[in-house]
Structure 1
Amino acid sequence: MSVDQRGSFAGRLTAARDRSFVGRDAEQALFLDALDDRPGSSPVQYLHGPGGIGKSALLRRFAQEARRAGRPVVEVDGRTVAPTPEAFAAAAEEAVVESGAVLLVDTFEQCQGLEGWLWEQFLPRLPIGAVVVIAGRIPPDARWVSDPGWAGLLNVVALRNLVPGEALAFLSARGVPDTLHEALLGFTGGSPLALALAAAVAVDASRHGSADTVLDWAPSADVVATLLPQLIGDPPSEAHRKALEICAHAHVTSESLLRALLGERAPELFTWLRAQPYVETTTLGLFPHDVVRESLVSDLRWRDPEGFAAFHKELHQHLFEQVRAAPTTQLLQATGALLYLYRTDGHMARFHGWQDTGQVYDGPCLPADEARVVELVGQAEGPESADLARYWLDAQPEAFRVYRSARTDGIIACSAWLRLTDERGCDVDPVVAAAWTHMRGHGPLRAGEHLAVARFTVHPEHYQRPSPPTTLTQWRAMGEIFRADHLAWHFIVMRDDGFWNDHLTHFDMWPTADAPVVGSHPYRLFGHDWRAQPVISWLAAKTDVMLTGVDGRDAGEAPRAAEVSVLSRPEFDTAVRDALRALRRPNVLADNPLARSSVVVHNGGSLRGVLERAVAALTGERGGDKRHRALVTTYVKGAPTQEAAAERLGLPFSTYRRHLTSAVDRVADLLWQHELSGTPLPDPPPAGQDGVRPTHQG
């Protein structure tokens, strides 16, 4: 193949690179200032940043500008020069002898061991008028940055990803269709290398694929496999790789998170993560650049789906426990970290903005804040709602939270989480009245239970649309749900305009039939029966959907709440006694209302199995062996009469009856606790040779 008649391939390469180069205006200005020796300029520039950030492309741009200015250009590449003083000096010799030379050193991390020699011996030999640009993944040693001798000569620049406007210009220059811009930006985070690879794949797909293929663009395994080595290099060990995967999957990574998942190597691994050029440090912990995060998660999910699922569930369990244990001041942070695991489910990321929540912060509503809360509700919802906010501020001031601007410290939004155990307020607030009406249609509130209403979600500037305060109000609501004891129902109140319907129903929060009106505004309540589907099973179902991408429920289909019996405590105790008596009669057992209770439905669906697990749990309690033997002899083995059971146990009948009554009451207590909390029953101990759970004698 002949070269282009207008020049060489090099000329065409340069022209193509010129057309596709975008951004880096600040870095180019610093270089041009040094090239022109303007006052205050620094003749030595040190650029550092992770792989794929565009260091080499920027050096090529600098070389063009230097040559246009008539400067001799000396280029040294750390990948091709031996990491010795002699080899480096030979490669850069022209910069020492040529007046006004521009020395460009790329991939300096490959010869980082020469850093001391470079600063102390080589660079001081360069003549006045020389310009030096060094680019590498690792920032310079702090002693050179703080050295007063280099203070007026050295400028250190940390290269970042392209900002959204620059990234869009990059994609347009590569011919990427506008319809793909959002998907590519979401994956690449503005990384130039990732943008280039993704753009090439996307352009090819748009030329040869269907419209659906283009709109559903996602990075292929080949793109990820090409990117990862460039972005993260080669981690020193499998433990380091695992730490990276945790850092990619979690919202932020702390040393305590690594310790919980990886054990005692956590300090070493945290220190290593912190030193990586593609990892950022915040007050909450560490997080990787977007493209590193997405590539690591995508790669693990593709090459080891079972391992990814197990890892996800382990991390999920730890973060859920953190939510349950977090003090109120840390509830939003803990809840946001847990919900972040669902960011790829197709709904969560559209309505939750983790990156923007730093614009606001929440706090309790103090007496001095109440007038502002009433004012905000009035602005957004009208005077009638403002009167209701005043009513609930008087009744439950602790239910209200305020959201302050991090910039001005002023209150810009508010919300309330009303905790209700009786129907107080129904004659005043039609929204709360509608919540009680809906709940009564699905079973009464049992002793110890409560319902909750997320009321007055108000941010006038972006009323009930995605915004940082709205994200925090959602996190607050979910955090309260995750840590609540004996929550029967909750309701989220939204203006009845349909905007939130798909999002909330995706998460099994279903609209009520009625739309109560306050002032001139109708509202829709979205509710969930936590007795029919407790938090643990709900999270497990959402996790399965996120991991598999398959929702087993038909579109628009609400949970079959009618399949779960909601029993009062007396009804529950009676059902337990009847079920134990029918333990050896499956047909009778199947008709017991306990078979459709939450504790049975969400612990395998077998009433016999749930009863046997509760009976087995007695052996771990003080005095439980006696109760356990009485139950096993009477109901599991099936003594013909209670007198016969007492004789088999060698007990006086009155003593046997006392043990049996205590045992039945204790089983009912255990099952009731799990019925209300929704927590799973403990696993049973292994059975003995006769198939009966072992007991302790004595």
Structure 2
Amino acid sequence: MAAFINDLLNKAELQSFIGREDELQLMQNQLDRDRTDWNLLHFHGISGIGKTALLKRFMNISSTANTIYINTDKELQSPQQFLDIIVNKLHNHPYYNKGRKIGTEQSTTTSNIVNSLNTIATTEPPLILLFDSFELWEPITDWLFHSFIPRLSANVRLISAGRESLRSIQTRSPSWSLLVQHVHLKPLSKNLVHDYLKNNGIDDLILRNTIVKLSDGIPFSMNLCYKMALENGERLETANLKQIVRILCQNVLEELDITINQRSLLEAASVVRQFDKELLMNITGQSLSYEEFDQFCDIPIIMKAKDGWSLVDGIRNWFQTDFKEHSPELFNSYKKRALEVLYRRWTAANPLQRRSLFLENVFTAKNELLQEFYFLNDETVYDIRTAEQKDIAPIMEIWRNRHLNSLQSVNDGTEQEKLIQEVWELEPSAIKAFWENDCIVGFTAIVSLTTEARKIFLKNDLYRNYLLNTKTEENERLFWIGATAKNNDYQALNAIYRYFFEHLMDNFLCTVMFPTDYDVSGLLSLGLKELPWAASVTPSGKKFRMLQVDLRKVSLLKLLTTSKLLTTSYPIKTKKNISVQEVTQLLKKLLPSYHELESMPELLKEANEVMDIEMKDNEAYGDTIRHFIKEAMNGIEIKTEKDRLMMRSIELSYIEQIGTNELVAERLHLSISTYYRYVNRGIEKLALQLIT
């Protein structure tokens, strides 16, 4: 059977819309709602969040429903403008075509229009009125809620959508507070964005992850990224990303009626996660009256936060990226001032307040690991309880079935779940269960590595190298294991990461073990050091690495907010008259021995013939060379996705050593031949970076 164009349009509409099942169900409920249970359903959210798409999706799936959709691209200045729009809609309504004299054959008075709508609603109840772009209806809002809507039959149901809530109406007329149901449209989840992209033919996982991170679940940005990727042969290069961010920022600014000073404050606010009047004044170095601050906080993309105010997550990221791109010196100046204030607040706060301030400091420090996990879907609050005996069995089952990183399996032969019961009996408070709706959705375990605890962990070969070569230390904590009950439960996963990171604040010697296929570059940027001698290999051949950081004398926050950790620079240079080929050959020897340089004096001697490094011993020499290589890699300008994959191939193969070449190629979704080519080309680029 030949497809009709309408069928093709419906299919395209299905592909472009995803999620919002709960919101659609609320709209569907309006069709079945009893007359005595009447309310106005109002959706609100930032520009581009998908309000219009939601209303149109409802019309599409409820095509047999009695609906009238009203939208405008200009502000409605008078009730008559609204009535004229209604008349045009009634003129095309099926009941008008059946000979009913509605609207256009009568004068367009409020009474006649109301009577016409009530007649339609009585004939085939209910009649659904969909009011879109409600922010443009502001001049007639009072008239609408006092002179028009109250005269409608209860068989007429109202669904509206706009950037702002209807709280002002409820304030002016308290009785409306009982009849308006507000629904705040939030960004789509990571899973839904992935599904949208897969449904539309984007199979490249790296590209999907890029779009997920950049779009932050906001449909407008998601569609923009997707279309630009298609136009560029299903890839997004650095220039594309900058262009997308610029378009997104311009789109937001075009929708806002703000002053030049408020635009400057938006840039300052993008530097931090949450802000208050004092913080903005310190960042900008300008005075700000209470009236000016209140007016700034009334901007639609700013919302009340736990400890102040905040830009909407995705928009904050766009403004921050764009600000850093076009004014890097001012951005760094603002960041430095913000960190000074936040660190000062942190040192003066009590322990409970410090946890919240820790969030603000690490966000402003711009650590990518913390930014990616610490601030994702951060609004979910879980009931975190010390595990009880009855919780141990489900916790063991969660660990057997799931892992913090959904790309990895815990069935690696380590059988760490066998230790959970003993650890709990020794230190019940070490194991925390995360509860939601009377269910355990995840757990964490941070264990005091006492003499008794070390005896327990000696039963597992995974920790034997470390435990047999160290003694019991005061205030040592093993950041042991954690998992979520459901795969890809990003909210619970994020809560687990937050719990782990928050406890890095405490004055502990922090020890943690990870599989080598886990990306630990972010943890290394937090100051953790790898202990190569404590590495372990399971009977199944899975490799694990041990990381550690001593925070007993210096806090993680101090490390994060010092220039040494934020902008490391190593004063090393290659000797003159060295060719790219010579440095390339040296790197091909250094990289495979990246973590064992100290035990290879001949190789260090050869490196010294190329590099101007003065070190007293092999241990310091090897550490410096590793830092030198990492610094050079960070200095390479990533212009294309190919550039990024070249550097990532080197990282995974030599620095993180996640496994065989085949495993690295699979991880990066490359053929083995392309992988080898990228590694060789990447080493050449690295050599060139070292001598320029």
TM-score by length of 1: 0.57
Deviations 1:498-553 (A, max 9, x none): 74654443444322343299x9999965345899999569842442379xxxxxx9
User: Residue 478 of structure 2 aligns with which residue?
Assistant: 455
2:163 pairs with 1:137: yes
SS of 1:187's partner is helix
Q: Cα gap change, 1:119/1:504 in structure 2, threshold over 3 Å: closer, same or farther?
A: closer
Deviation at 1:362, TM superposition (A): 7.5
CA contact (8 A) 2:45 2:162 kept: yes
User: Residue 123 of structure 1 aligns with which residue?
Assistant: 149
CA contact (8 A) 2:526 2:560 kept: no
User: Residue 687 of structure 2 aligns with which residue?
Assistant: none
User: Residue 185 of structure 1 aligns with which residue?
Assistant: 212
> 285-294 or 112-121, which moves further after superposition?
285-294
2:428 pairs with 1:405: no
User: Residue 288 of structure 1 aligns with which residue?
Assistant: 311
Deviation at 1:52, TM superposition (A): 0.8
User: Residue 662 of structure 1 aligns with which residue?
Assistant: none
Rounded Cα–Cα distance in structure 2 between residues aligned with 1:433 and 1:227: 52
CA contact (8 A) 1:254 1:286 kept: yes
Counterpart amino acid of residue 341 in structure 1: T
Q: Cα gap change, 1:14/1:231 in structure 2, threshold over 3 Å: closer, same or farther?
A: farther
2:84 pairs with 1:90: yes
User: Residue 222 of structure 2 aligns with which residue?
Assistant: 195
Deviation at 1:297, TM superposition (A): 1.5
CA contact (8 A) 1:359 1:468 kept: no
Deviation at 1:384, TM superposition (A): 9.0
Deviations 1:600-646 (A, max 9, x none): xxxxxxxxxxxxxxxxxxxxxxxxxxxxxxxxxxxxxxxxxxxxxxx
Q: How many residues end up aligned between the 2 structures? A: 515
Rounded Cα–Cα distance in structure 2 between residues aligned with 1:429 and 1:162: 42
Rounded Cα–Cα distance in structure 1 between residues aligned with 2:33 and 2:146: 23
SS of 1:161's partner is coil
Rounded Cα–Cα distance in structure 2 between residues aligned with 1:63 and 1:371: 49
CA contact (8 A) 2:164 2:300 kept: yes
Deviation at 1:117, TM superposition (A): 1.5
Which blocks of at least 5 consecutive residues in structure 1 are unaligned?
440-449, 485-489, 547-552, 562-589, 591-595, 597-698
Deviations 1:544-592 (A, max 9, x none): 379xxxxxx998979999xxxxxxxxxxxxxxxxxxxxxxxxxxxx9xx
- Following superposition of structure 1 onto structure 2, how do residues 37-56 of structure 1 map, counting pairs within 5 Å? 38-39=34-35, 42=38, 44-56=40-52
Deviations 1:195-245 (A, max 9, x none): 2111111222334x5xxx57x897332453245434773353344334433
Q: State the structure with more CA Rg.
A: 1
- Higher RCO (Cα < 8 Å, 6 or more apart): 2
**Overall identity of the aligned pairs, in %:** 17
Rounded Cα–Cα distance in structure 2 between residues aligned with 1:163 and 1:27: 14
Rounded Cα–Cα distance in structure 2 between residues aligned with 1:87 and 1:56: 21
Query: Among residues 323, 337, 344, which one is paired with 1:314 in the alignment?
Result: 337
SS of 2:159's partner is strand
Rounded Cα–Cα distance in structure 1 between residues aligned with 2:336 and 2:30: 53
Deviation at 1:51, TM superposition (A): 0.8
Rounded Cα–Cα distance in structure 2 between residues aligned with 1:514 and 1:418: 19
Query: Among residues 463, 471, 481, which one is paired with 2:497 in the alignment?
Result: 471
Rounded Cα–Cα distance in structure 2 between residues aligned with 1:427 and 1:105: 67
Q: Cα gap change, 1:350/1:557 in structure 2, threshold over 3 Å: closer, same or farther?
A: farther
Rounded Cα–Cα distance in structure 1 between residues aligned with 2:431 and 2:420: 17
User: Residue 241 of structure 1 aligns with which residue?
Assistant: 263
CA contact (8 A) 2:270 2:317 kept: yes
SS of 1:52's partner is coil
Rounded Cα–Cα distance in structure 2 between residues aligned with 1:225 and 1:251: 22
Counterpart amino acid of residue 206 in structure 1: G
User: Residue 253 of structure 1 aligns with which residue?
Assistant: 275
CA contact (8 A) 2:277 2:293 kept: yes
> 153-162 or 179-188, which moves further after superposition?
153-162
Rounded Cα–Cα distance in structure 2 between residues aligned with 1:516 and 1:74: 64
User: Residue 534 of structure 2 aligns with which residue?
Assistant: 515
2:327 pairs with 1:304: yes
Counterpart amino acid of residue 224 in structure 1: R
- Following superposition of structure 1 onto structure 2, how do residues 513-592 of structure 1 map, counting pairs within 5 Å? 513-515=532-534, 525-527=546-548, 539-544=562-567
User: Residue 96 of structure 2 aligns with which residue?
Assistant: none
CA contact (8 A) 2:70 2:131 kept: yes
CA contact (8 A) 2:218 2:314 kept: yes
Rounded Cα–Cα distance in structure 2 between residues aligned with 1:29 and 1:385: 42
Rounded Cα–Cα distance in structure 1 between residues aligned with 2:162 and 2:27: 17
- Following superposition of structure 1 onto structure 2, how do residues 100-499 of structure 1 map, counting pairs within 5 Å? 100=120, 103-126=129-152, 129-144=155-170, 150=176, 154-179=180-205, 180-207=207-234, 209=235, 213=236, 219-226=241-248, 228-230=250-252, 233-234=255-256, 236-255=258-277, 257-258=279-280, 260-261=282-283, 265=288, 267-268=290-291, 271-272=294-295, 274-341=297-364, 345=368, 347-349=369-371, 352=374, 355=377, 403=432, 405=434, 407=436, 413-415=444-446, 453-455=476-478, 457-459=480-482, 467=493, 471-472=497-498, 474-476=500-502, 478-480=504-506, 490=509, 492-494=511-513, 499=518
CA contact (8 A) 1:228 1:292 kept: no
Rounded Cα–Cα distance in structure 2 between residues aligned with 1:21 and 1:290: 22
Counterpart amino acid of residue 205 in structure 1: N
Counterpart amino acid of residue 137 in structure 1: R
Rounded Cα–Cα distance in structure 2 between residues aligned with 1:349 and 1:91: 47
Rounded Cα–Cα distance in structure 2 between residues aligned with 1:153 and 1:32: 17
Rounded Cα–Cα distance in structure 2 between residues aligned with 1:154 and 1:389: 49
Deviations 1:156-177 (A, max 9, x none): 4333333445434433444333
